[in-house]
Amino acid sequence: MSATPFLVLSAILFTIGCVGVLTRRNAIVVFMCVELMLNASNLALVTFSRVNGNLDGQVAAFFVMVVAAAEVVVGLAIIMTIFRTRRSASVDDASLLKY
Amino acid sequence: MFVPLAETAPTVDPSTSGGVFSLLWVIIALPALGATVILLLGNTRTSRWAHLLGCATVLGSFAISVVAFVALLGRAEEDRQIGQKVYDWVDAGSFHVDFGLLYDPLSALFLLLITGVGSLIHIYSVGYMAHDVRRARFFAYLNLFVASMLTLVLADNYLVVFLGWEGVGLASYLLIGFWQYKPSAAVAAKKAFVVNRVGDIGMALGTMLTFATFGTLTFAGVSAAADRASDTTLTVLGLLFLLAACGKSAQVPLQSWLLDAMEGPTPVSALIHAATMVTAGVYLVVRSNFIFDYTEVAQTAVVIVGAVTLLWGAIIGCAKDDIKKVLAGSTMSQIGYMMLAAGLGPAGYAFAIFHLLTHGFFKADMFLGAGSVMHAMDDDVDMRHYGGLTKMLPVTFLTFAIGYLAIIGIPPFAGFWSKDKIIEVAFEQNLVVGLAALLGAGVTAFYMTRLMLMTFLGKKRWEDGVHPHESPKVMTVPLMVLAALSAVGGLLLLNDWITDWLAPVVGAEPHVAPEIPAIVLTLIIIAVVLVGVAIAWLTVGRSDVPRTAPARVSVFTRAARADLYGDAINEGLFMRPGDRFVNGLVTFDDHAVDGFVDGTGSAFGGMSGTFRRVQTGFVRSYALSVLGGALVVVLALLAVNLA
Amino acid sequence: MIAFWILSPIMVAAALGILFARKAVHAALLLAVVMVGLAVLYALQDAPFLFAVQIIVYTGAILMLFLFVLMLVGVDASDSVVETIKGQRLMATVVGLLFGAVVVLGVAQVSLGAVTGLAEANADGNVPGLAQLLFSRYVFAFEATSALLITAAVGAMVLAHRERLSPKQTQADLAAQRMRDYASKGLHPGPLPSPGVFARHNAVDTPALLPDGTPAEASVSRVLSARGAVRSAPATDVDRLTDSMGDGTSNRAVTRSGPRGPIDGDPSDRARPEGTEDQA
């Protein structure tokens, strides 16, 4: 199986994740798009591990998953704390650093 | 027009000093020391003895000058140039200048004049400035002036001359504006300094050009190499030195400051603006004879300047009612005579110096006499308030009269001999110049007679409360000495002594027999003078002098009263365009330069005002920028790796 | 490979759905679709361990965590369609498309050479192979990651913790408070009536009936009332029941009632004990 289609799919998913981060206003949905990006890179890592014939790529993907898990935990806790104080989960609320 | 040079101009070749000549530097040092001491200790501390110190220093210099002169007389004619190096002044690479002194027949005469007349005026000032609270400072400035003037005439190179040149300019400024509280005095001092500055440009440029051409500034060096320089260079040098001389000697076109300089105390007018400083220009021309002799153009220029000025000064003097201003106009005119003679080459140098000396005597005499009259008339300078002073001021009248006879050129007084020789030499060279000099003699006679008539003779026109009295001895004794010198000064010409005395310095002209016999010319001159006297008697002496100046006068009188529009010309030609130029520069600076700077600032401010809108504060727009950046990086990577 | 070509359009469509879904819950579920699809792709590429981990950890744990937070935050928290930042949507689309095009083209241009395949690496099995690497070359990263996990857990606890501002009320305090409320405001001190007790239905959304037949508002959750999801107690139901019980007398007490009981009706009704009526 050629690796290129997998890489192209990974690129497409990554781009969609990027655009999602830029476009969505709900903090949790933005976070989900970030997870999508991470997943896309995982796919690329696994594909390359297959291309190179060793398992380093899969180990890397494994670590990415672990880190993503930890990150989601803390990130969502933060969002929840913000939501408790602000009663809103919109990312546009943090706009004090403007001209 | 001019008789070409028969031989090369004499070179300056001083021998080292010894004996009494080793004291040459003391001549300058004494008044310099006097000035320093009085100025450093201050007016109040020295007020009781400063005048004594001031007189003592100048008298000391006079004494040494006399001794040196006698010693020089004793030497053989070829051996009369003595040099003394005081110290190494400038030593910068190839530019080397010593503070050196040159004592030769020319500087010997000047030393005697400056220190002699200077001492008399110092003594006179003791009495004249007796009531002035700042008399000590006055003497300090007078000493400073004497020291600078001595430096000027004793210098053996152009840079030391320049040092003295600037020093006398400074002293003149300080002394004209001595009564600082008078705005007119301050303005006059400033005017004198500024106009002198224009002349100083000529001096500075001439000095620089001399160094550039000859590689040295000493008279010895330049005189040795002068005949080898190009004609253009020598002409330019001559014209530059002429410009310098015009500034210092108040010749046209830089003459406007002299009449205003009469704001200073009368001893100042006598010493600086009659006898010595204003003669520095003539000294410069005569000393630079080794340059002028090789350039006809510059010599012609000098003659023209002299001729124009002698008539200019004479005409101004005819219409002034201020006694000092009449004498100032007369000074301008007489120096015109000297410049005229100096411009005639070796034929006239000696006579220029001769007239310079006699002029120093009789003009100082008359200025001090005028001071004496002012002292009697409560410091009033308006001649229309004088009249009938012969009985009240007998000594003053007699000494003044001797000076008057000398200046108009009545034999056997000093002025006759010197002026006569100048007119004679002028006629030998050029008819027009000779006629101008002759006419000048007539006009001189006119206005001096007018002065005498208005001041001493005729009816009393005094102000109320004025009680004229003779001045104290400390003032009248110098007058008597100067009158005596004015009387017998003609003896210098006996056996052509002065011509022979100055020959080693300025060269000698073989005597050309004039077309008109000398005695005939002399008689013509005397006749012209008497005509001038007669006209004055007829116009001024016969009828009563009105106490206020008449308003309806001829156009000539009006012009003469306005200094022949000298100030107006300066204003129109230089001051107003300069003013407009400077204002334009200020506007340019304010709007263009400041505008550029401020504009840059506000441009940046405006730009930042626009660019800061990028900072929206929204995370998502920043994320967009991040994505854009990532895009650029990826493109770059691809470009590098795939290209 | 066929699996790939079937799955990838679905995954791309789901990803696009995340972009456009209005409700956040929908987005989460679409993300689950993508993740499961990715798991299958891992399986396709000889990574069975990752296939399992992806489903268990990513989809099963992380995504569920998302859903929990969505529940806490508000399930119907939806984005408005209007974009507040001018030009953001357009610029994002443009730059995103550009970025995507560049990366895809770049990737397509790269020649990767022959695919080595994981047959050799997976010779002892995928899991032992991974373990080999994990505990030899990447052991330090492994240990660091464990520290990271602990930190994350502690961090979450710290962040989500809410400090008690007043002392915890004991049961005795609660009882005393209830008594005070009854004394001052007349609030019922006893427990709330359970819903639908006296009517035919005992569903949560059916209110209990008071003795005079009116629904007791306190018996239904006020959330449901606020939502308007409360069912009315069906009076016809009771009538039908009593009719079916066969004594023919319709209990008018349900429809016309006063505050304390039936206004009119048979004296024989009064005789019947009220406790038998609640056999619904």
> For residue C270, what pLDDT band results from cuts at 50, 70 and 90?
very low
pLDDT of residue A56: 93
Q: How far is C184 from chain B (nearest CA, A)?
A: 52
List chain B residues with CB under 8 Å of A7.
none
Both tokens of B174, joined, read 């300080």
> For residue B9, what pLDDT band results from cuts at 50, 70 and 90?
low
Q: Above pLDDT 70, what percent of chain B?
A: 98
Q: Using one digit for the tens of pLDDT, what is the confidence trace for A17-35?
A: 999 999 988 889 999 999 9
pLDDT of residue C255: 45
B400 pLDDT higher than 90: yes
B1 pLDDT higher than 50: no
Name residue B498's amino acid.
I
Q: What is the mean pLDDT of residues C30-52?
A: 95
Do B619 and A22 make contact, defined as CB atoms within 8 angstroms? Answer: no
pLDDT of residue C77: 53
Name residue C66's amino acid.
F
Phi/psi for B358 (5° steps) reads -65, -40
Q: Report yes or no: B76 at the A interface, CB cutoff 8 Å.
A: no
Q: How far apart are CA B167 and CA B172, in angstroms?
A: 8
More reliable by pLDDT, B514 or B207: B207
Q: What is the mean pLDDT of residues B111-132?
A: 92
Q: How far is B643 from chain A (nearest CA, A)?
A: 21
Q: Using one digit for the tens of pLDDT, what is the confidence trace for B182-198?
A: 999 999 999 999 999 99
Q: What is the DSSP letter of C93?
A: H
pLDDT of residue C87: 80
pLDDT of residue B457: 87
Q: How far apart are CA A19 and CA A30, in angstroms?
A: 10
pLDDT of residue C165: 85
Q: Which of B633, B634, B637, B640 to mutate to test the interface with C (most CBs of C within 10 A)?
A: B634
> For residue C166, what pLDDT band results from cuts at 50, 70 and 90?
confident
Q: What is the mean pLDDT of residues B487-493?
A: 82
> For residue C247, what pLDDT band results from cuts at 50, 70 and 90?
low
Do A77 and C159 make contact, defined as CB atoms within 8 angstroms? Answer: yes
Out of B624, B635, B642, closest to residue C95 by CB: B624
Both tokens of A21, joined, read 């981060």
Torsion from C-alpha of A4, A7, A12, A15, nearest 10 degrees: -140
Q: What is the mean pLDDT of residues B26-32?
A: 93
C212 sits in the region (left: phi over 0; alpha: psi -120 to 50; else beta) called alpha
Do A22 and B616 make contact, defined as CB atoms within 8 angstroms? Answer: no
Q: Report yes or no: B615 at the A interface, CB cutoff 8 Å.
A: yes
pLDDT of residue B65: 93
C170 pLDDT higher than 80: yes
Helix B231-249 with B183-214: angle, nearest 10 deg: 160
Do C103 and B634 make contact, defined as CB atoms within 8 angstroms? Answer: yes
User: Does the interface predicted TM-score (ipTM) exceed 0.95?
Assistant: no
Q: How far is C199 from chain B (nearest CA, A)?
A: 55
Do A21 and B623 make contact, defined as CB atoms within 8 angstroms? Answer: yes
Chain A, chain C: beta-carbon pairs less than 8 Å apart? 221
Contact predicate A62/A43, CB 8 Å: no
Q: Output the 3-class SS for B447-507.
A: HHHHHHHHHCCCCCCCCCCCCCCCCCHHHHHHHHHHHHHHHHHHHHHHHHHHHHHHHHHHC
Contact predicate B376/B400, CB 8 Å: no
Q: Using one digit for the tens of pLDDT, what is the confidence trace for B565-586?
A: 888 888 888 889 999 999 999 9
Do A21 and B617 make contact, defined as CB atoms within 8 angstroms? Answer: no
Q: Report yes or no: B625 at the C interface, CB cutoff 8 Å.
A: no
Q: Using one digit for the tens of pLDDT, what is the confidence trace for B296-348?
A: 899 999 999 999 999 999 999 998 889 999 999 999 999 999 999 999 988 88
Touching A: which chains, 3+ CB pairs < 8 A?
B, C
Name residue B586's amino acid.
V
B23 pLDDT higher than 90: no
List chain C residues with CB under 8 Å of B631.
95, 98-99, 102
pLDDT of residue C259: 53
Q: Using one digit for the tens of pLDDT, what is the confidence trace for B55-101?
A: 999 999 999 999 999 988 888 877 788 888 888 898 888 888 999 89
Chain A, chain B: beta-carbon pairs less than 8 Å apart? 34
pLDDT of residue B388: 85
Out of A11, A33, A56, closest to residue C103 by CB: A11
pLDDT of residue C78: 57
Q: Report yes or no: B624 at the A interface, CB cutoff 8 Å.
A: yes
C79 pLDDT higher than 90: no
Which of B157-161, B456-460, C37-41, C121-125 shows the lowest per-residue confidence on average (mean pLDDT)? C121-125
Q: Using one digit for the tens of pLDDT, what is the confidence trace for B264-306?
A: 999 999 988 777 888 899 999 999 998 998 888 999 999 999 9
Q: How far is B619 from chain C (nearest CA, A)?
A: 11
pLDDT of residue B352: 92
Q: How far is CA B148 from CA B106, B221, B332, B369, B372, in A?
A: 17, 23, 22, 26, 27
Touching B: which chains, 3+ CB pairs < 8 A?
A, C
Q: Using one digit for the tens of pLDDT, what is the confidence trace for C11-26?
A: 999 999 999 988 888 9
Average pLDDT taken over every residue of chain C? 80
Q: Above pLDDT 90, what percent of chain B?
A: 51
> For residue C238, what pLDDT band results from cuts at 50, 70 and 90?
low
Instruction: Specify the 3-state DSSP secondary structure of C168.
Output: coil
List chain B residues with CB under 8 Å of C87.
none
Contact predicate C18/C27, CB 8 Å: yes
Instruction: Specify the 3-state DSSP secondary structure of C13.
Output: helix
> Contacts for C25-32 with beta carbons within 8 Å, 24 or more apart?
C25/C67, C25/C70, C25/C75, C27/A29, C27/A32, C28/A32, C28/C63, C28/C66, C28/C67, C28/C70, C31/A32, C31/A35, C31/A36, C31/C63, C31/C66, C32/C59, C32/C63
Which span out of B218-227, B307-316, C123-132, C222-231 was modeled with the highest average pLDDT?
B307-316
SS3 percent helix, strand, coil of chain A, rounded to 5, is: 80, 0, 15
> For residue C97, what pLDDT band results from cuts at 50, 70 and 90?
very high
C49 pLDDT higher than 90: yes
Q: Using one digit for the tens of pLDDT, what is the confidence trace for C175-222?
A: 999 899 899 988 878 887 777 654 556 677 777 777 777 777 777 888
> For residue B359, what pLDDT band results from cuts at 50, 70 and 90?
very high
Out of C69, C118, C141, closest to residue A63 by CB: C141
